[in-house]
Structure 1
Amino acid sequence: MPLRLEPTLREQISSADRTLFGGWICSGSPVAAEIMAGAGLDWLLIDMEHAPNGLESVLAHLHAVSGYGSTPVVRVPVGETVTVKQVLDLGAQNILVPMVSTAEQAREVAAMAQYPPAGVRGVGSALARSARWNRVPQYLQNGAEHVSVFVQIETAEGISNAAEIAAVEGIDGVFCGPSDLAASMGLIGQQTHPDVIAKVKDAFTAVTAAGKPAGVNAFDPQAAQDYVAAGASYVLVGADVALIARGSEKLAADYIPEQPKEQ
């Protein structure tokens, strides 16, 4: 029986009448991924850059979230042709590539996600979950329709090149990373510094002017709402590990008596 794949994040953003809010899965646990997927978030980021995830665990995460309504996005560890090919072959329909600072880098990323002649993605759909082992009709011919490609701007250089990056054909959106951006600006650990926030908003202006959606990572609720007001189409507002860390700390504080300080 012919199969139809799920709508991509590109399609979800295009049809949405509000900002889409997502959760970050950094624990490497498919159980945590399923818990996050069942919470009602619009989208989920399965991380390979700063999380203990390889191909097998990413596949397990994709399986775990597949029964729910949240759209999964896989952040690959690096913009590298083989890695992108393998993640797409696992059935990831949405990828985020970190540390893209120039239009040339963006063009290389776009090519990695498309089959020839438009790109350089290796052909293996008959062997892979991406086309459900040739059960998705015309997958090779229509592969670009089933995949959305987002790039992450995380440096001051990237902000200055945001318009050119967003204009690259095959790039479906730009995601800003304030933490690394702050570091590149000499403000490490200060992702809510006014100068960092201003740079992110500059990127929003450039990206949306190019006709592409702009997104951002913002765990601080006030910063998140500020970015929404500034035009963010999709925002990461929390992570599984952060929720566990803060929740477990509250348990300890609520139930364990504070030890008296030594005089």
Structure 2
Amino acid sequence: MIDIENRFKRWLQGAGPRPPLGTWLMAAAPATAEAMGHTGFDFLVVDMEHVPIEVADLAHILRAIGCTPAEAVVRMAWNDQVLIKRVLDAGAQTIMVPFIQNAEEARQAVSYAKYPPHGVRGVAAIHRSSRFGRATDYLKRANDEVAVILQVETPEAIERLPEIAAVPGVDALFVGPGDLSAAMGYIGNIAHPEVQALIEKAAKDCHAAGKPVGIVGPNPEMVRRFIDYGYDFAAMASDIAMMTGRASDWLGTLRGSQPAPTPAAAAAY
């Protein structure tokens, strides 16, 4: 029997590394994804919202991550029924849906990711997720193994967080600090005290609702602060941010100049 267990979903439920640490993939390159997967990150976020990754590209990137110890989290471009179906069929097991504002949008996202009777995901027997039909129990287990993470990215969404978290089938929430700071009038400044206060409140509200919550930060110091707030899993920066940051540092050393600072918003996806 071919196993389709979703390790990341088990981690959300309390097993495995605590907290799981990841990074964002912005390069849209299988080689970079594979390299980052061997670096020690627990999970890698494949971003289809802000990166020109199509479903065919995604399959190649998921294959590359599958050669490593890391788990893949696919950030959807939008809360779209057809796209979610295609991404799941392409091999994703954990999806993250951006800009969820209320419980109705949360219910839609869950329904798109689940087969009937719990959702409306279209059924196919042969695709990457079913190991091309060799995982003969895929259709019976998929609803339990697919993980749905919903992003809350505005003050209004965080205000409605308890009702969003209460929707059956929501496995975790994820706070988007970049969009949150922009919606609060502090675009590019996730360190603003008012933004930080709402980020901290969101973690407390998620735990009160009984759901794990994740976030992304631009550097180890900010991520450590988020973990201290109570965040259960966290991503740090991105492949591109780390590459360009290291390149800038080394060039600055050789040229005897100070490298340009990395913007705080660079990893606040």
TM-score range, shorter chain: over 0.9
Aligned residue number for residue 262 of structure 2: none
Aligned AA (1:120): V
Q: Write the distance in 1 (CA, Å) between the matches of 2:184 and 2:224.
A: 23
Preserved contact between residue 24 and residue 46 of structure 2 (Cα < 8 Å): yes
Aligned residue number for residue 116 of structure 2: 116
Mapping of 1:17-28 within 5 angstroms?
18-28=18-28
Aligned residue number for residue 177 of structure 2: 178
Larger radius of gyration between Structure 1 and Structure 2: 1
**Could you report, residue by residue, the CA deviation over 1:159-204 in whole angstroms, capped at 9, with x for unpaired residues?**
1011111111111000000110001001111111111111111111
Preserved contact between residue 191 and residue 197 of structure 1 (Cα < 8 Å): yes
Aligned AA (1:144): N
Q: Write the distance in 2 (CA, Å) between the matches of 1:87 and 1:152.
A: 17
- Flag as ranges the 4+ runs of structure 1 deviating above 4 A: none
Q: Write the distance in 2 (CA, Å) between the matches of 1:146 and 1:13.
A: 12
Aligned AA (1:210): A
**Could you report, residue by residue, the CA deviation over 1:200-254 in whole angstroms, capped at 9, with x for unpaired residues?**
1111111111111011111232221111112111001120010111111122212
Question: Taking structure 1 as the reference length, what is the TM-score of the superposition?
Answer: 0.94
Aligned residue number for residue 226 of structure 1: 225
Deviation at 1:7, TM superposition (A): 2.5
Further displaced range: 131-140 or 26-35: 131-140
Preserved contact between residue 8 and residue 93 of structure 1 (Cα < 8 Å): no
Preserved contact between residue 37 and residue 65 of structure 1 (Cα < 8 Å): yes
Aligned AA (2:135): V
**Could you report, residue by residue, the CA deviation over 1:52-78 in whole angstroms, capped at 9, with x for unpaired residues?**
211111111100011211111000100
Q: Write the distance in 2 (CA, Å) between the matches of 1:200 and 1:16.
A: 25
Preserved contact between residue 30 and residue 60 of structure 1 (Cα < 8 Å): yes
Q: Write the distance in 2 (CA, Å) between the matches of 1:17 and 1:189.
A: 31
Aligned AA (2:70): S
Aligned AA (1:148): A
Preserved contact between residue 27 and residue 52 of structure 1 (Cα < 8 Å): no
Aligned residue number for residue 137 of structure 1: 136
**2:58 is the counterpart of 1:58:** yes
Q: Write the distance in 2 (CA, Å) between the matches of 1:47 and 1:17.
A: 23
Q: Write the distance in 2 (CA, Å) between the matches of 1:211 and 1:90.
A: 30
Preserved contact between residue 4 and residue 138 of structure 2 (Cα < 8 Å): no
Q: Write the distance in 2 (CA, Å) between the matches of 1:42 and 1:173.
A: 17
Q: Write the distance in 2 (CA, Å) between the matches of 1:182 and 1:257.
A: 35
Preserved contact between residue 149 and residue 170 of structure 2 (Cα < 8 Å): yes
Mapping of 1:156-235 within 5 angstroms?
156-235=155-234
Q: Write the distance in 2 (CA, Å) between the matches of 1:183 and 1:219.
A: 16
Question: Taking structure 2 as the reference length, what is the TM-score of the superposition?
Answer: 0.92
Aligned residue number for residue 261 of structure 1: none
**2:32 is the counterpart of 1:39:** no
**Aligned length, in residue pairs:** 256
Q: Write the distance in 2 (CA, Å) between the matches of 1:195 and 1:220.
A: 20
Aligned residue number for residue 91 of structure 1: 91
Deviation at 1:143, TM superposition (A): 1.3
Report SS of the residue matched to 2:236: strand
Preserved contact between residue 48 and residue 75 of structure 1 (Cα < 8 Å): yes
Preserved contact between residue 12 and residue 171 of structure 2 (Cα < 8 Å): no
State, as a whole percentage, how many aligned pairs show the same letter.
36
Report SS of the residue matched to 2:138: coil
Q: C-alpha root-mean-square deviation of aligned residues, in Å? A: 1.3
